[in-house]
Chain A
């Protein structure tokens, strides 16, 4: 197996791109990543995407984007694992390069959500849940997270306000991220007064859906320096699954898929949570941050929120999370989100995170979660410097 590195990164601002189509968004991110790697050609393109068919009426987007980018003829496929599609695509690209079947591979996450509105999007997102046993009963994706959050509060004795540090930290970090959707910090008071969406989940517990695309170029580490002064090594990429429906989990408050994929990743990299310098969590909702921190071994069961309350998740804390704004404030273009996490980790590990730079960051981890935990992709990257 070959060692794999990221030799180029590219992204478009997360937001409402009324004037851009899915293929354009994808192309811009791909083009930016290829320019960053100073390459004209790639062997393969893996496109992480969840809802192109449902929200844009277009499937078969691997070929669409490859052709639009002037790369007609290359291998290109879509990878789908709900909101975990982005990092799942990375895993496929990683496998291709590590296995020696491809040398230069682009991995992209792209989502175009703003062509459709309101309950059409609500219904589409609910497809990440169990169609026959959750969505059929009228559950929205938000409400499934609300069920988890309520039970978490009940079992571990937290109030809703206790979750505020996750949102506050994400917004504070997004201020300095030019690609983020929001650039305004929020206060505890704003969090407390935020509009309720699905009790106990309020607006400021939730990440905003948006359009976006992010892309990396992978190559064997052996040749990475030919393309980049600062290649970032992929130390681990691991996917694990759990039941799609929350009610089928052995313990709904424990992300078993998160724990398994983290364990796989730690063992691939030969490290443990204590070695990780920053952690991009899948904070689609504040409760997911807590559950992810616990599953990945950064906090004991029920202590994920306490960790945040103690200030340990900020840039100066023990385990900085959502360092560029996270899903909450960078925005959550669902199938693209996992690749934004990877691009942001690479930015940090290249030392290019500006005001948000985590000092001496060497090992960064991301957890990209599909659905409410049915697919969890853990990626560990290492600075090549």
Chain B
């Protein structure tokens, strides 16, 4: 992956930092600077909780370049609790155990590496919620 492209989106990928619209309060991810709900300029950073639920999912057996070693892996659309849908991989779960509506949480993982010499690309994935003590 291109180094500068990697670097300029670090906040989004590591922390799930999007935006909140100062006009209508709409939470936006990925950040897009213009609120899709009211078209007001929206550049106020907002970090999402990382909680959400599976909206849809699939398993990839034929991977694009750079993802070959991870097959089979599960991809999903996740509905974040603040509203937006997000596309990401699911991790630490077997596809047969995934259900639409399953609660998931964001974790930061290696998305891919650029060969043995290249950069490691870290970013968000989601996994079944690992509940702590009550």
Interaction A to B: yes
Closest to A125 in B: B64
List 18 additional contacts besides A137-B125, A150-B58; criterion CB under 8 Å.
Answer: A118-B62, A119-B62, A119-B65, A119-B67, A123-B66, A134-B87, A137-B89, A137-B123, A138-B63, A138-B111, A140-B62, A143-B58, A143-B60, A147-B57, A147-B75, A148-B56, A151-B55, A151-B77
Q: Which residues of A contact B86 (CB under 8 A)?
A: 133, 247
A137 with B58: in contact, given A122-B63, A247-B84, A247-B87 (CB under 8 Å)?
no
Q: Most chain-B CB neighbours within 10 Å: which of A142, A154, A247? A: A247
CA distance A146 to B56 in the complex (A): 9
CA distance A200 to B36 in the complex (A): 30
A254 CB to nearest chain B CB (Å): 14
Is the C-beta of A19 less than 8 angstroms from some C-beta in chain B?
no
B96 CB to nearest chain A CB (Å): 10
Is the C-beta of B120 less than 8 angstroms from some C-beta in chain A?
no
- 15 A-B pairs within 8 Å (CB atoms) are namely A122-B62, A122-B63, A132-B9, A137-B123, A138-B64, A140-B64, A143-B58, A143-B60, A147-B56, A151-B100, A197-B62, A246-B85, A247-B86, A248-B36, A252-B77
| Interface pairs A-B: 3 shortest CB-CB | A146-B58, A247-B85, A151-B56
- Residues facing A in B1-49 (CB within 8 A) are 1, 5, 9, 30, 32, 36
Is the C-beta of A39 less than 8 angstroms from some C-beta in chain B?
no
Is the C-beta of A55 less than 8 angstroms from some C-beta in chain B?
no
A287 CB to nearest chain B CB (Å): 11
Q: Which residues of B contact A226 (CB under 8 A)?
A: none
Q: Which residues of B contact A197 (CB under 8 A)?
A: 61-62
What is A's interface to B at a CB cutoff of 8 Å? 118-120, 122-123, 126, 130, 132-140, 142-143, 146-148, 150-151, 154, 196-201, 245-248, 252
Q: Which residues of A contact B55 (CB under 8 A)?
A: 151, 252
> Quick check: A133 and B30 within 8 Å, CB to CB?
yes
CB < 8 Å: which of A136, A138, A151 contacts B60? Answer: A138
Size class of B's contact patch? Answer: 35 or more
Q: Which residues of B contact A252 (CB under 8 A)?
A: 55-56, 77, 85
Is the C-beta of B68 less than 8 angstroms from some C-beta in chain A?
yes
Q: Which residues of A contact B77 (CB under 8 A)?
A: 147, 151, 246-247, 252
> Quick check: A138 and B30 within 8 Å, CB to CB?
no
Q: How many A-B residue pairs have CB under 8 A?
A: 111
Closest to B125 in A: A137
CA distance A138 to B68 in the complex (A): 9
CA distance A325 to B97 in the complex (A): 37
> Quick check: B58 and A122 within 8 Å, CB to CB?
no
CA distance A20 to B112 in the complex (A): 36
CA distance A150 to B60 in the complex (A): 14
> Quick check: A139 and B87 within 8 Å, CB to CB?
yes
CA distance A147 to B121 in the complex (A): 24
CB < 8 Å: which of A133, A146, A198, A201 contacts B87? Answer: A133
> Quick check: A119 and B75 within 8 Å, CB to CB?
no
Q: Most chain-A CB neighbours within 10 Å: which of B5, B36, B62? A: B62
> Quick check: A122 and B64 within 8 Å, CB to CB?
yes
A43 CB to nearest chain B CB (Å): 40
Is the C-beta of B102 less than 8 angstroms from some C-beta in chain A?
no
A136 with B123: in contact, given A123-B64, A150-B100, A198-B61 (CB under 8 Å)?
yes
A133 CB to nearest chain B CB (Å): 5
